Amino acid sequence: MRIASGCAELMTRPFSLISLLFLCLSIPSLSGAQTPDPPAADPQIELNLISLPTTQSIKRHHSYFRLNHRFARDLRLGDFGDLAADLFALDNGAVLGLEYRFGITSSIQAGIHRSTQTKALQLFSRWDAIRQGENFPIGASALVSVEGFDNMQEARQPALAVVLSRTWGQRLAIYASPTFVNGTYHAALFAAGIEGHEHDHGGGAAVTESVEDDIDNRTVFIGLGTRARLRPSVFVVAEYSPRMAGYAPGEPMWGVGLEKMTHGHTLAVTLTNSYATTPGQIGRGGTPEALYLGFNITRKF
């Protein structure tokens, strides 16, 4: 009972939570050096990078849970004293994403993802059509999804993507995911209305209804990413999502992270320019010059 109450108190403190994450990234496992986790033969250890998808499958009738946490404070605002006063964003609010997916077969999975940003709800399915091996030099998956604000009641955005991967030995994996999202402009206007300010479109001018018909309501972007092994169970990840056509406000989303793999779990500390965790959010881009601290926790079971 005393241990349980101590753990509960620890998890209520933001600084202690981040300290716990860094501790988990620094040690092989909670059980110590006597039972270290065996290194994964494949550097493709996760179903996602930071926000972008990979081609990693889950077993038939198995499940996957993901928690995304992004602190709301921009680390580039204020001087060092201001950041220290806010415990480097840990004293501020956060945008959370929760996801659950299920392996219908060993190559078909379906899931649901919800972000607290505009109460965005996403339903998705992925088909891992090709696995890299002797017959194929790459892996390939197809992804279809639909998301909407206010728990799918507003600003729905269907999306289609193809995810391509290539791994080299146990050290490196790279990814490219051409993605089409419909409804990005209308979603941006709706999000701006929820947040209570005008939506910016180039040069700081608010978009008016008279020019709305001239703005593309679709976005095509290519998600580019990599995962590289630093130690047997420690990886560095990076991703960048330039928009190739259509509506493209702000800056392309990017992120970097440090991951620790344990038995069944992956923990990652991330730096990004966006809270985005869904195709629609990624399509709308990141905040110019922003930097957000965050973390991801996943569990396969």
pLDDT at residue 75, as a whole number: 75
Indicate yes or no: pTM above 0.75: yes
Reference 117, options 68, 65, 160; nearest CA is 68
- pLDDT of 138 > 90? The answer is yes
pLDDT at residue 192, as a whole number: 84
Homologous superfamily in CATH for domain 2-300: monomeric porin ompg (2.40.160.40)
Mean pLDDT of 162-190: 96
- pLDDT of 295 > 60? The answer is yes
pLDDT at residue 181, as a whole number: 98
